[in-house]
Amino acid sequence: MGLIVQKFGGTSVGSIERIQNVADRVIETYKQGKDVVVVVSAMGISTDHLIQMANDISENPSKRELDMLVSTGEQVSMSLLAMALQEKGYQSISLTGWQAGIKTENAYGNARILDIDIKRVNGHLANGNIVIVAGFQGLTDDDEIATLGRGGSDTTAVALAASLKAEKCEIYTDVTGVYTTDPRVVKEARKLDSISYDEMLEMANLGAGVLHPRSVEFAKNYNVKLEVRSSMEKETGTMIEEDVSMEGNLTVRGIAFEDNVTKVTVHGLQDDISTLSTLFTILSDHKINVDIIIQNTNGNEATDISFSLDSQVLKYALEVLSKYQTELNYEHISYEGDLSKVSIVGSGMISNPGVAAKMFNILASKQIKVKMVSTSEIKVSTIVDNSTMLSAIECLHEAFELEAKQPVNV
């Protein structure tokens, strides 16, 4: 028999016609003798509209009420899909996240899934139903509705696939798979047949919005067979799996980017043993995520520390740092916004020294100034001006030979 979890994103359920199309895709799998659990996102950009309405009422809406509000989006599409399936003659039931037993931590707006009680879903499956579950939502210990962060329906799907021991989790979206970079930005981007969990996790964390990062974490930790594919076209998509060999002698699998970066510099700190720990403890106590960190010491007693963060939290970070000026004993703070992060990702870097050097050479040859750098075993990230982001992505994509080349398995 076997069980498949299928997730359909916002565009894929964006109209009544599209919901009918989703119903047909689901029925195709059901007719192959599979149990099917479907996870849906809210229709089109309806989550954005809900957030907009909240912001029209309040500058700082209560996080609890915001989750109550945005969790309704998925409940519209899940019930419409269940009706479409019933209309076509198939037994179907829709469940909210909490009805489906999804338990989350107590963190409105960005909760992690802690556990799934699969009893009810299994019961409905056993009775012959196609079960539709609302993505992006769960219930906390205090019986409060919490959402999983933007794009979180992917995570609902993979977590359910892990708990239900599904044979596969299929993420249906508005592109035909995972590409070497966002195909809406670089038209030469090439669809990948497969990509490893680790590479996909880096890509997702570094801005490739095609999968919610936590969904990839779940897939890796529970070894879920994961495929990203199109809800409109029939071609096979991209498999995300454990070991994927590099194609030919390529070192880089893909390029990810995001354009919401600000660099903050704290000038004139005392250069003593606890400076770094005091500064970053204050930031972390206030839940401010920093990314790349650079310390500049120029020989005397003072030191400057720069770090990058999401531009959305800049205002709050500056308020916090100013509140602690006496304790931190710094001279002043400066910041530079309108920056982007452009990253190359690929497991081929582990065994090939010089990938970072090649990246910097390519960027320099295009007169693109790199302002910050960070690396891991399988990625190099650079911070550049927003105005140079696109040309950085394009020249790296070309130089690392990511465009249209026949995959060669080695």
Q: Amino acid letter at 103?
A: K
CB of 150 to ligand ASP, least distance (A): 4
The sign one gets for the Cα dihedral 375, 112, 41, 33 is: positive
Residue 150 contacts which entry, Mg ion, ligand ASP, ligand ADP, none (Cβ below 5-8 A, type-dependent): ligand ASP
| Alpha-carbon distances, residue 369 vs 258, 366, 373 (angstroms) | 17, 9, 11
Nearer to Mg ion by Cβ, of 151 and 254: the residue is 151
Q: Which does residue 120 touch among ligand ASP, Mg ion, ligand ADP, none (CB within 5 to 8 A, set by kind)? A: none
Q: Which does 178 bind (CB under 5 to 8 A by kind): ligand ADP, ligand ASP, Mg ion, none?
A: ligand ADP
What distance in Å separates the CA atoms of residue 78 and residue 148, rounded to the nearest whole number? 17
Tell me how far, at minimum, the Cβ of 41 lies from Mg ion, in Å: 7
Cβ contact 12:158 at 8 Å: no
User: Pairing between strand 113-116 and 293-297?
Assistant: unpaired
Name beta bridge partners: 7: 39, 171
For the bound state, the minimum distance from the C-beta of residue 61 to ligand ASP, rounded and expressed in Å, comes to 16
Least Å distance between CB 173 and ligand ADP? 3
How far is Cα 106 from Cα 141, in angstroms, rounded to an integer?
A: 7
Least separation in angstroms between residue 6's CB and ligand ADP is 12
Quote the DSSP letter at residue 111. Answer: P
- Whether residue 282 contacts residue 324, with contact meaning beta carbons closer than 8 Å, is answered with yes
Task: Give the CA distances from residue 10 to residues 86, 317, 330, 367, 406, in Å, rounded to whole numbers and listed in that order.
Answer: 21, 32, 47, 39, 32
Choice between 42 and 359, CB closer to ligand ASP? 42
Binding residue count for ligand ADP, defined by CB under 6 A: 19
Contacting residue, 61, 109, 149, 209, with ligand ADP by CB under 6 A: 209
Q: Using the minimum distance from each CB to ligand ADP, give the nearer residue, 77 or 140.
A: 77
Tell the burial category of 409 from Cβ atoms under 10 Å away from its Cβ (0-12, 13-18, 19+). exposed
Task: Enumerate binding residues for Mg ion (CB under 5 A).
Answer: 9, 151
Q: Does 9 bind ligand ADP (CB under 6 A)?
A: yes
152 contacts ligand ADP (rule: CB under 6 A): no
Indicate the residue among 9 and 346 with the shorter CB distance to Mg ion: 9
Closest distance between Mg ion and the C-beta of residue 71, in Å? 16
By beta-carbon proximity to ligand ASP, the closer residue of 201 and 264 is: 201
Q: Which is nearer to ligand ASP, 204 or 355 (CB)?
A: 204
Nearest to 219 by CA among 179, 178, 170: 170
The CB-of-44 to Mg ion minimum distance in angstroms stands at 12
> Based on CB atoms, which residue is closest to ligand ASP, 47 or 382?
47
Beta bridge mates, 308:
263
Q: Which residues contact ligand ASP (rule: CB under 6 A)?
A: 9-10, 41-42, 47, 73, 135-136, 150-153
User: DSSP readout, 12-64?
Assistant: GGSSHHHHHHHHHHHHHHHHTT-EEEEEE--STTHHHHHHHHHHHH-SS--HH
Alpha-carbon distance of 300 to 270, in angstroms, equals 10
Q: List residues near ligand ADP by CB under 6 A.
A: 9-12, 41, 151, 173-175, 178-179, 181-184, 208-210, 254
